[in-house]
Amino acid sequence: MNVKDPVCGMEIDPKEAAGKSEYQGHTYYFCSSDCKKAFDKEPEKYVGRHEEHGGHHH
């Protein structure tokens, strides 16, 4: 099952991810080391996008 890179939104296979980070009990996977670095620098910037609002986006 593919997962979404929280930084760029790319669908990736976790087994082939360039990197992963743990944040607030979740594991996030990245398509590149650049996306991982961006996430590690400001994780709340990326995590809040799709989890905080529980699908209230239009």
Distance (Å, whole) CA 5 – CA 9: 5
Q: What pLDDT is stored for residue 48 in this prediction? A: 72
Looking at residue 51, its pLDDT comes to: 47
C-alpha atoms less than 13 angstroms from C-alpha of 8 in its C-beta half-sphere: 13
User: Would you say the pTM of this structure is higher than 0.85?
Assistant: no
The whole-number pLDDT of residue 56 equals 42
Which residue segments constitute the domains of the chain, with CATH numbers given? 3-47 (2.30.170)
Determine phi and psi for 56, rounding to 5 degrees. Answer: -85, 5
Residues in the chain predicted with pLDDT less than 50, given as ranges, are 51-58
